[in-house]
Amino acid sequence: MIFNNSDFNSLRDLFCNAVTKVFGDSMAFLDFLENEKYSTKYDCYLDYNGENYIINRETGEYINWYKLDHIGRCINISTDGIMNIPKWIEDFLVEFKESEEEQCGK
């Protein structure tokens, strides 16, 4: 299933809150993306003036938003269900961030 801001009015807030919780702040998140600190388990497509994606290559799940520095603007996510969207977003970001640690440990 794919969800976007029209499905959940607070989806942007959920994403922004999860980014802050997992990375500390949005600048640390952007640095992580721009410095390609993530593992090859993920594909990231970044466009300062367009669509941005974080894709888990193993599951096909993704988070997508418009304009790199407008975190959560026009956000879309893919998940198997709507059981607990806030937890899904946070778990996705935690796994994404921890992929750096796994890669560095190899």
Position 87 in a domain: yes
Position 43 in a domain: yes
Position 105 in a domain: no
pLDDT at residue 19, as a whole number: 96
Task: Please tell me the pTM assigned to this model.
Answer: 0.83
Position 15 in a domain: yes
Span 2-41, pLDDT tens digits: 666 566 658 888 899 999 999 999 999 999 999 999 999 9
Position 106 in a domain: no
Count of the separate structural domains present in the chain: 1
H, E, C per residue of the chain: CEEECCCCCCHHHHHHHHHHHHHCCHHHHHHHHHCCCCCCCEEEECCCCCEEEEEECCCCCEEEEECCCCCCCCCEEECCCCCCHHHHHHHHHHHHHHHHHHHHHC
Position 59 in a domain: yes
Position 103 in a domain: no
Position 104 in a domain: no
pLDDT at 92 over 60: yes
Domain containing 34: what range?
2-98
pLDDT at residue 106, as a whole number: 42
Give the separation between CA 8 and CA 4, rounded to whole angstroms. Answer: 7
